[in-house]
Chains A and B, each alone.
Chain A
Amino acid sequence: MPAVALAAVFSALTSCTQDEEPTPTPEAYSVTINIIEPSEGETITSGSTVHLEATFENDNTIHNIGVWMVGEMMNDTLYSYENHVHADQYYEFHEHTMPMVMEAQEYKVIFASWDEDPAERIEKHVHVNIEP
């Protein structure tokens, strides 16, 4: 019986020493994307200038950003941009493009940001209609 008690005490002591602070898991990458232009449902004439403008904000570092303009029917890409910006908490994206189309189509304009794996990107999008 004393041996059992001693074992219990030993077990309690060793379990205490093993009860260390859990290893912190890395915080999930987060970013707030605010699309300024284009606006949802905007109609654009082929060959005219389109403003692609958005802000990216978080509490740490904004690593990668990407912007694409992809056709909803044909899956064609009219605009593509990727860059490791490594910005401190804030980044503005503002570029102009002149998309050219032969047929009217709805396009998804995607603004995205990710830490290391593009598959885990955070994105926001709007749809625009581009007409010949």
Chain B
Amino acid sequence: MKKGLLVTAWLLIAAMPVLACTSCGCSGGGTTLGMQLVTVRNYAGMIWQHTGLTVYEQGELHSSFASDTWQVYGSLQLPGKWHMQARLPLVWNRVTDHSPEGDQTENLFAAGDLNLMAGYQAMTLRSGRATHTLFVQAGAELPTGKYKADFVQAGLPPGFYPGSASIDPLAGIQYILSDSAWTAMFGASVKYSLPNADHLQEGLFWQAQTVVARSLGASGRWVPFAGLVAEHRNGYRKYDFLNEESAYSVAHGMAGMEYRGDRFSVGARFDHTIWQQYSTEETTNNGAYSVYVNWFF
């Protein structure tokens, strides 16, 4: 049972979302959904993730965006089948304008929006050696992150400031199939941002991912994993103006490895872009890589 719980925790932790970008920038850590926290035991952890985006024009480098996100998170088991999760990102965003006169870079180091989710284990079904588990989640991102209304006027891309300055409802589901050393997961989540005081409303965001993992050896401490991640964001609105250029869709193939101790786990993961759609064809999502550590208690 303990091994099963650890596999469940690992799988959800491994399924970190990538931070994809718009045609002129990237989403920050505070504006993506996390599905890594659904578990049936208490834990805390942190993850570092690097993402990037490059924009070309007529084949020449025009601008680039890089983002490093550190997230601390935790989950507590509540009475019954309920649990509660929290996640707080810190982001270091850089956007560089490449021009013949020289590069010009804008930096930002700031907190993102606090993510709070309540989860419920809606189903557990055993069939032979296989176990089927379904989680449902609901919550919100609270406006704790850095936000500035005039990012457009300042020539900065949407998502450069990680905060939305609004309460953003979240919902998600996860289905997990575990069978001895094998585990598979499918998850989907959605975020609907409300308009903030400046009448700015982030676009609807959804993400879906599937991951397969296998515990190696008799101890099962080494766990390679691989999967697919797809996500989409609509363009943002201000009053009734819709910025369609800020919409994007991206799909990643991902792979990684985790080591599980008795009370902790560490892992690394690489995401490679396999399909993308931005407002310009000369925009390239550079994928993501991440390293994480978790403590179970």
Which residues of A are at the interface with B, using a C-beta cutoff of 8 A? 34, 36-37, 48-49, 53, 55, 87-92, 94
The minimal Cβ–Cβ distance linking B118 to chain A, given in whole angstroms, is: 36
CB-defined contacts of A37 to chain B, threshold 8 Å: 155
**Cα–Cα distance between A46 and B243 once the two chains are bound (Å):** 28
Q: CB within 8 A of A87: which of B152, B153, B155, B241?
A: B241
B152–A36 touching, CB < 8 Å: yes
22 contacting pairs across A/B (C-beta < 8 A): A34-B153, A36-B152, A36-B155, A37-B155, A49-B57, A49-B58, A53-B155, A55-B152, A55-B153, A87-B239, A88-B239, A88-B240, A88-B241, A89-B199, A89-B239, A90-B199, A90-B239, A90-B241, A92-B152, A92-B241, A92-B243, A94-B245
> In this assembly, does B238 line the interface, its C-beta being within 8 Å of a C-beta of chain A?
yes
| B interface bracket (residues with beta carbon within 8 Å of A) | 10 to 19
> Whose C-beta in chain A lies nearest to the C-beta of B152?
A55
> Whose C-beta in chain A lies nearest to the C-beta of B155?
A36
CB-defined interface of B227-257 with A at 8 Å, one 1/0 digit per residue?
A: 0000000000011110101000000000000
CB-defined contacts of B239 to chain A, threshold 8 Å: 87-90
CB-defined contacts of A92 to chain B, threshold 8 Å: 152, 238, 241, 243
CB-defined contacts of B240 to chain A, threshold 8 Å: 87-88
CB-defined contacts of B238 to chain A, threshold 8 Å: 90, 92
- Cross-chain pair count, CB within 8 angstroms: 30
Which residues of B are at the interface with A, using a C-beta cutoff of 8 A? 57-58, 152-153, 155, 199, 238-241, 243, 245
CB-defined contacts of A55 to chain B, threshold 8 Å: 152-153
> Whose C-beta in chain A lies nearest to the C-beta of B200?
A90
The minimal Cβ–Cβ distance linking A132 to chain B, given in whole angstroms, is: 15
CB-defined contacts of A53 to chain B, threshold 8 Å: 155
CB-defined contacts of B245 to chain A, threshold 8 Å: 94
**Cα–Cα distance between A10 and B199 once the two chains are bound (Å):** 55
CB-defined contacts of B153 to chain A, threshold 8 Å: 34, 36, 55
The minimal Cβ–Cβ distance linking A58 to chain B, given in whole angstroms, is: 11
> Whose C-beta in chain B lies nearest to the C-beta of A48?
B58
CB-defined contacts of A88 to chain B, threshold 8 Å: 239-241
**Cα–Cα distance between A91 and B243 once the two chains are bound (Å):** 9
CB-defined contacts of A36 to chain B, threshold 8 Å: 152-153, 155
**Cα–Cα distance between A36 and B241 once the two chains are bound (Å):** 17
B57–A91 touching, CB < 8 Å: no
Residue of B57, B152, B245 with highest tally of chain A CB at under 10 A:
B152
**Cα–Cα distance between A106 and B243 once the two chains are bound (Å):** 31
CB-defined contacts of A34 to chain B, threshold 8 Å: 153
Known: A34-B153, A36-B152. A91 touches B241 (CB 8 A): yes
> Which are the 3 A-B pairs with shortest beta-carbon distances?
A88-B239, A88-B240, A90-B239
**Cα–Cα distance between A55 and B198 once the two chains are bound (Å):** 15
**Cα–Cα distance between A11 and B153 once the two chains are bound (Å):** 59
> Whose C-beta in chain A lies nearest to the C-beta of B23?
A94
> Whose C-beta in chain B lies nearest to the C-beta of A49?
B57
The minimal Cβ–Cβ distance linking B200 to chain A, given in whole angstroms, is: 9
CB-defined contacts of B155 to chain A, threshold 8 Å: 36-37, 53
> Whose C-beta in chain A lies nearest to the C-beta of B101?
A43
